[in-house]
Amino acid sequence: MKDVKRIAVEIAPGVETEFTDRDRAIAQVVEWAEKSTRFPVVIFGPEGCGKTAFLRQAASGLRELGYDVFYLHPLDRAFSAEVDDPDVKRLFLDLVRRTLEDERWGRLAMAVFDLVREILKKRRRRVAIIADDVFQAIGLDKAAAYVKGLLNTIEHPVYKYEGIVVLVATSEGISRREVGRHFWAELRPMWNMPREGLQQLYEKLPGPKPPFEDVWRWTGGNPRMLGLLYENRWDFGKAVKEIVAKKDLTADFIRRWGKWLVEAVEDPDALWGRGAPEELIRELEARNLILYNIYYREPQFWVDSPPPEKDPELGVGRYVAWHTPLHREAARRALKETGLS
pLDDT tens-place string over residues 221-263: 999 999 999 999 999 999 999 999 999 999 999 999 999 999 9
305 is a domain residue: yes
Looking at residue 323, its pLDDT comes to: 97
Predicted pLDDT at 138 = 85
My answer on whether 226 and 301 are in the same domain is yes
State the pLDDT confidence band at 139, using cuts at 50, 70 and 90: confident
Domain assignment present for residue 120? The answer is yes
Task: Let me know whether 225 and 154 are in one domain.
Answer: no
Q: What is the per-residue DSSP string for 133-197?
A: SHHHHH-GGGHHHHHHHHHHHHHS-SS--SEEEEEEEE--HHHHHHHHTSSSSEEEEB-PPPHHH
Residue 65 lies in a domain: yes
Q: Is residue 17 part of a domain?
A: no
Distances (CA, A) of 255 to 80, 259, 266: 46, 8, 17
| Residues 155, 54 share a domain | yes
42, 181: one domain: yes
155 and 225 assigned to the same domain: no
User: Is residue 126 one of the residues assigned to a domain?
Assistant: yes
Q: Are residues 207 and 67 in the same domain?
A: no
The model's pLDDT over 28-64, given as tens digits with 9 standing for 90+, comes to 999 999 999 999 999 999 999 999 999 999 999 999 9
Rounded Cα–Cα distance for residues 334 and 93 (Å): 46
Residues 140 and 227 in one domain: no
Q: Are residues 77 and 162 in the same domain?
A: yes
pLDDT for the residue numbered 137: 83
Whether residue 201 contacts residue 302, with contact meaning beta carbons closer than 8 Å, is answered with no
How high does pLDDT run on average in the chain? 94
Rg (CA), the chain: 21
Which residue among 124, 155, 189 closes a domain?
Answer: 189
Residues 296 and 247 in one domain: yes
Give yes or no: residues 58 and 77 share one domain.
yes
Answer yes or no: is 8 within a domain.
no
Domain that holds residue 70: 36-189
SS3 232: coil
CA separation for the pair 309, 178 (Å, rounded): 26
Whether 128 and 256 share a structural domain: no
Kindly state the percentage of the chain with pLDDT values over 90: 85
Considering the domain architecture, whether residues 211 and 318 belong to the same structural domain is answered as yes
Asked, for residue 23, whether it belongs to a domain, the answer is no
The b-or-e profile of 212-248 (16+ CB within 10 A means b, else e) is eeebbebbbbbbbbbbbbbeeebebeebbbbbbeebe
Q: Which of 165, 189, 213 is the last residue of a domain?
A: 189
| Residue 122 CB coordination number (10 Å) | 12
Closest CA to 329 of 295, 294, 289, 301: 289
Query: For position 177, what pLDDT does the model report?
Result: 78
pTM of the shown model: 0.95
Counting the structural domains of the chain, the total is 2
In a domain, 24, yes or no: no
